[in-house]
Amino acid sequence: MEVKLHQLKIPLKTSFKTSYGEMDAKEFLLIELIDCDGIIAYGEVEAFARPDYTEETIETAYNIITTFLIPGLQNWQFTHPQDFREKFKWIRGNQMAKAGIEMALWDLYAKKKEVSLQELIGGTKQKVAVGVSLGIQENETALLNTIRRYVQKGYQRVKLKIQPGKDIRFIAAAREAFPNLTLMADANSAYKVSDIVLLKKLDQFNLAMIEQPFSEKDFIDHAELQKQIKTAICLDENLRSLEDVRQAHLLGSCKAINLKLARVGGYSEALDIINYCHQNNLLVWCGGMLEAGIGRAHNLLLASREEFVFPGDISASSRYFEEDIICEPFELIGDSLQVPKGFGIGVTLNNQVIKRFLKNTKTMVLR
Ligand code: OSB
Ligand code: MG
């Protein structure tokens, strides 16, 4: 088997601002596995350039992949992609590095079996209703204009990033202008327990949920806030595994789960989390990492499972990019995206676009 790690950097159409920082390009690793029969499979490593969302960066992921994961695949009698998680359990953390390789192995396995990856992971929907995540805007007018643009495109669920000073007034303005829109807020850990009084004011705006108000290590303060408000709290940064989801549930820290393949180390853990949420009445929905086409396709396949009833952060390719890296960019039809068909992941690389944004490729050969 041969593994190619492509380092890409694609400019975003507009910069994306959260409570922790601003991004104007999507930098990531594209994983290409080529097996002995010439079958090609794909994964995407979603770690960002800076360790500000989680601890991982592109560089740390590159290191874990080239030093441990790829060499660890040498001589491995790979029977099912589900075995990947157990084999590399000894590597602590580094979920995004693991997820990039694991999702490519699932694609490879599906292509070898000549089935769709969607079928393999239990997805059934042909199309998936999606939402959009909007970065923090300069002022309320800019925010309302931005929301309006996306609503006109068809999005019916809008997530607004918030931070101290750009919260209550922004959300109030959005709710007033769009009384029936499914709205939610995401703080990316920007608040402290002393902000509970302020956060409780968000309860009046009929938000679908409030995502990750407190620290990425905190379960206790989230539980306290959840006790005091009727709006569902959703956790994101905290949840790296099924065990984290279980703790959050048992402590009452949230009612909703933002599930990202990248953040939990891939499909095996994600599927266990979906089952747990389904059995325990937690709303599970698919989050996003400004994925390029390969990561976006993997997200969509996952979100095509019946358990996903709340629209995910899986917007059309054109939300972030002038051009996507796949030949079948995702386009909004109504409020939905079409799930790719065909063996494996169901999308193919647009080599012209890739060439334009490629910084480097490393090839590793396994025997
Ligand atoms: O908190 O969900 C988040 C993007 C980068 C890092 C964290 C988050 C996000 C988003 C955007 O909200 C989701 C997307 O559109 O891909
Ligand atoms: Mg979030």
For each of the chain's 367 residues, which pLDDT tens digit applies?
Answer: 999 999 999 999 999 999 999 999 999 999 999 999 999 999 999 999 999 999 999 999 999 999 999 999 998 888 899 999 999 999 999 999 999 999 999 999 999 999 999 999 999 999 999 999 999 999 999 999 999 999 999 999 999 999 999 999 999 999 999 999 999 999 999 999 999 999 999 999 999 999 999 999 999 999 999 999 999 999 999 999 999 999 999 999 999 999 999 999 999 999 999 999 999 999 999 999 999 999 999 999 999 999 999 999 999 999 999 999 999 999 999 999 999 999 999 999 999 999 999 999 999 999 7
Residue nearest to ligand 1 atom 6, measured at CA: 289
Q: Show Cβ contacts of residue 176 under 8 Å, excluding neighbours closer than 6 positions.
A: none
> Six-digit token pair at 247?
């703790």
Give the C-alpha distances (Å, rounded to integers) separating 224 from 51, 170, 219, 253.
28, 24, 9, 7
Judge if pTM exceeds 0.85: yes
**Rounded Cα gap, residues 201 and 325, in angstroms:** 42
pLDDT for position 344: 98
Of ligand 1's atoms, which has the minimum distance to the CA of residue 319? 15
Report the nearest-CA residue for atom 13 of ligand 1: 288
Round to whole Å and give the CA distance between 32 and 44. 9
Q: What b/e sequence results for 122-145 when a residue is b if at least 16 CB atoms lie within 10 Å of its CB, and e otherwise?
A: ebebeebbbbbbbbbbeebeebbe
Given the residues 26, 111, 159, 161, select the one marked as catalytic: 161
**Residue 9 is a catalytic residue:** no
Is-catalytic flag, 87?
no
Which ligand approaches the C-alpha of residue 132 most closely? 1
The Cα–Cα gap between 273 and 259 comes to 8
**How far, in Å, from the CA of 13 to the mean position of ligand 1?**
15
| Dist. CA 286–CA 234, nearest whole Å | 12
State which of 58, 239, 289, 330 you would mutate to test the pocket of ligand 1, scoring each by most atoms of that ligand within 8 A of its C-beta.
Answer: 289
